[in-house]
Structure 1
Amino acid sequence: MLLMPQRILLVYTKAGGGHFALAQNLHKLLTELEPESEVRLFNFFDVGPRWIAQAIQDGYNFAVNKQRWLFTVFQAFYQTRPAIQSFARVLGMRLAPAINEYLEEFRPDKIIYCYPVNHGFRRLPYVRKHKPKTLTVVSDIFSPHLYWFIDTKDQYVVASPEAYSIARRYRVPPENLHYFQTLIDPKYDQPLAPEEVARLRQEWGLVHPYTVLLTGGGAGLKISHRLVRELVKIEGINVVVVCGYNQKLYRQLETFKQKNQIANLILFGFTKQMYELINVSNVVVSKAGPATIAEVLSQHKDLIVCDYVWPQEHGNVELIRHEKLGYYIRQPRKIAEKIRELKSRPPERKTLNLQNDIVRLARYILAL
């Protein structure tokens, strides 16, 4: 069937890397599937006052990675519809004019929300007048927060039976819920070719047969420095650390590496090679981000989760523990003990029994 060219807007923020990654993957697929259509990524904080972006995006990342108690207090306060709606109205007073101006300029036929702002956008003059088709893609797989489902009239994509049940609990009608399973980059559907794995191991100086990967999103893992000190005591392993945009962590580990002349410690800053890094690794230590969990398990790697963001990632931890898909260990010393154990025995290739539906979702969006 020949589709007419469309204008599709993918709305995201950088308050949490999973929203942005989902939007990027959908952008790539929609562009490939329908080259004649115009697909745009839109971080709505970019069109408003800079201080709002700093307060929300930078504040979120700071609270989650540095002062978790601040984020916990914030989440505890926003447990009711009135609280969330009041915050959205206050925020919208400063952002709405600029967002509406952007929408009038682009004139999208469809708006796909990769972040929970559909209830705010619904009140914008452009949306009320032109009524573009809308869809919210819930990127929190197992325990999404109430703020995803404030607008019960919108159409939603959920990725698990648990998320479906939560949406119904918040009064979203079943006809508004669409079930798509794991939503990660299609390249994770297959492992990297063995010869490419061998080439990368040589390029990155992975001289030992066993590799441990530490990754915690853009800010890196909070316990990276302490954990590295424990891991380098283990003989016969490579320790690979992705520091993201955390330059302080990168400098600390680089100084530690040079001072102690540790050749088997390999450091990365921000990288777009997570697929390759997961493929060359035997075990991945990470926080409980849903995309990271799906990516690691899709490649049948051992997984250790050492941290999670409450409440939206709590369900991810419970799933891992209940289904015995990995391990939840917080202390660096105990993580090192578990890695010694894993290194000495054959790997258990357990994985989530979920298919990657992101291509099917992209086709669904084009057919809306």
Structure 2
Amino acid sequence: MPQRILLVYTKAGGGHYSLALTLYRLLRQLEPSAEIELFNVFEVGPRWIGQAIEDGYNYSVQKQRWIFTIFSSFNSNKPAISTWARVLGSRLGPRINEYLERFQPDKLIYCYPVNHGFRRLRYLKQRKPKTLTIVSDFYSPHIYWFLDTKDQYVVASPEAYTIARRNRIPSENLHFFQNLIDPKFGSPLPAAEVIRLKDELGLQHPYTVLITGGGAGLKITWRLVQELLKLEGINLLVVCGYNQRLLKQLEALKARRNLQHLHLFGYTNQMYELINVSNVVVTKAGPAAIAEILSQHKEMIVCDYIWPQERGNVELLQQEHLGYYIRNPRRIAEKINLLKRQETPSEATPTPNDAVKLAQFILEM
């Protein structure tokens, strides 16, 4: 009987969804006979819950960071998180259980910290499928990842391992895999393909700046674009993610000023290609974004991070001199202008990527 694997995710943060998509593709390649499905936990319940959490996350990260900070602080102790899980479970649990009964997975892979809520479901109590939580906050994961001390966990750094052990996860339940990004990031595009893509995108200048901030986009994108438009001789690629308002504002600006060197994208699956044609990438401190940019040996400027789970990413970036942490749009533009004038080829260093190994581990568990 073929394996039935359910990859559980949400769109409250683009990195979780990206990880689920990567594993989905790899698992299907490695085991074509397996039945594999992607499952957004908020799509089966009342729509207002998904809007409140997914859209609320994107809004708070983009516009009102204090809301997210307060929510994270509230969820910094296990009793508060357990209460929140029970409230959501009362509305989502029956619908999720119905879905599980229909698909009947023998393995549940959590790409988002929902294992604590799932273990209460009747399907898990009766069928006892194998479960695995993949901690996609690589360096400073929030404690809500580690509520279920009986689950199996994947961590990607010694820092995450230490936090897991501090939250009483047994060492035998912890498995170490690094980076976990799409394997295609393991090597750059051939030079001829980069030239073709530049022609296809209409990149007229030799130097290209990419602005990207995950699903929610960057808070400072509008102001940063204004500053970068003052620089001469650059192509400007801007990924707005799910932020349709920002995308429309920039489209209007482009049309009004006839900005041929400004290229705009909503949510895109072409990050590999966009990073390859760029010289420098401005982003927030999402672990997947950092790993993807470093794998292609591009200059990186981090301008923002989500507290607390992305703070460790910024600290690593600064300690290892992997990029620059600059918050002010004007200073970012000044730095990019400096990098443009003194550009030197980046030294290629091997970047470990265990995504394929993790997919094999899932199939064998």
Query: What amino acid is the match of 2:19?
Result: L
CA deviations 1:210-262 (Å, max 9, x no partner) are 10001112232221111111112112111111122322212222222233232
Which position in structure 2 is the counterpart of 1:41?
Answer: 38
CA contact (8 A) 2:13 2:216 kept: no
2:14–2:216 CA contact under 8 A, matched in 1: no
Q: Does 1:74 align with 2:50?
A: no
Q: 1:184 to 1:83 in 2, by over 3 A?
A: same
- 2:301 touches 2:324 (CA, 8 Å); kept in 1? yes
Q: Which amino acid aligns with 1:366?
A: L
CA contact (8 A) 1:135 1:155 kept: yes
Q: Deviations over 1:102-139 (max 9, x none)?
A: 11111111111111011111111110111111100000
- Are residues 140 and 351 of structure 1, via their aligned partners in 2, closer, same or farther at CA, if it must alter by over 3 Å? farther
2:274 is aligned with what amino acid?
Answer: L
**CA deviation map 1:246-292 (0-9, x unaligned):** 22212222222233232211112222111100000000001111100
User: In the alignment, which residue of structure 1 is the partner of 2:195?
Assistant: 198
Question: Aligned partners of 1:301, 1:173: CA distance in 2, in Å?
Answer: 38
Inter-CA distance 299–354: structure 2 relative to 1 (3 Å threshold): closer
Q: Determine the structure 2 residue equivalent to 1:53.
A: 50
Could you tell me which of 279, 283, 307 is aligned with 1:282?
279
Q: 1:161 pairs with 158, 161, 170, which one?
A: 158
> Which stretch of the first structure deviates more once superposed, 21-30 or 263-272?
263-272
Following the alignment from structure 1 to structure 2, what is the Cα–Cα distance between the partners of residues 175 and 351? 35
Mapped contact 1:164–1:177 kept (Cα < 8 A): yes
2:241 match: 244
- With over 3 angstroms needed to count, the CA separation of the structure-2 counterparts of 1:161 and 1:347, relative to structure 1, is farther
Deviation of the 1:352 alpha carbon: 8.0
CA distance in 1, matches of 2:120, 2:358: 26
Query: Gaps (5+ residues) in structure 2?
Result: none
Match of 2:306 in 1: 309
Which residue is equivalent to 1:26? 23
Give the Å deviation of 1:6: 0.3
Contact 2:61-2:216 within 8 A present in 1 as well: no
Q: CA 1:291–1:171 in 2, change beyond 3 Å: closer, same or farther?
A: same
Runs of at least 5 residues in structure 1 that lack an aligned partner in the other structure: none
* More contact order relative to length (CA 8 Å, sep ≥ 6): 2
- Aligned residue pairs total 365
1:182 to 169, 179, 182: 179
Measured in 1, the distance between the counterparts of 2:185 and 2:350 equals 14
Alignment root-mean-square deviation, CA: 1.3
1:10-48: CA deviation from partner (whole Å, max 9, x where unpaired) = 111111111111111111111111111100111111111
1:353, distance to aligned residue in structure 2 (A)? 6.2
Question: Which shifted more, 169-178 or 45-54?
Answer: 45-54
Inter-partner Cα distance in structure 2 for 1:228 and 1:64: 19
SS state at 2:43 partner: helix
TM-score (norm 1): 0.96
Shift of 1:57: 1.2
Q: CA deviation at 1:145?
A: 0.3
Measured in 2, the distance between the counterparts of 1:197 and 1:109 equals 42
Q: Matches of residues 116-265 of structure 1 in structure 2 within 5 Å?
A: 116-265=113-262
**Post-superposition CA distance 1:31-79 (Å, at most 9, x none):** 1111111001111111111111111111111111111000000001111
In structure 2, C-alpha distance between the alignment counterparts of 1:229 and 1:64, rounded to whole Å: 21
> What percent identity do the matched residue pairs reach?
67
Q: Give me the TM-score of the superposition, normalised by structure 2.
A: 0.97
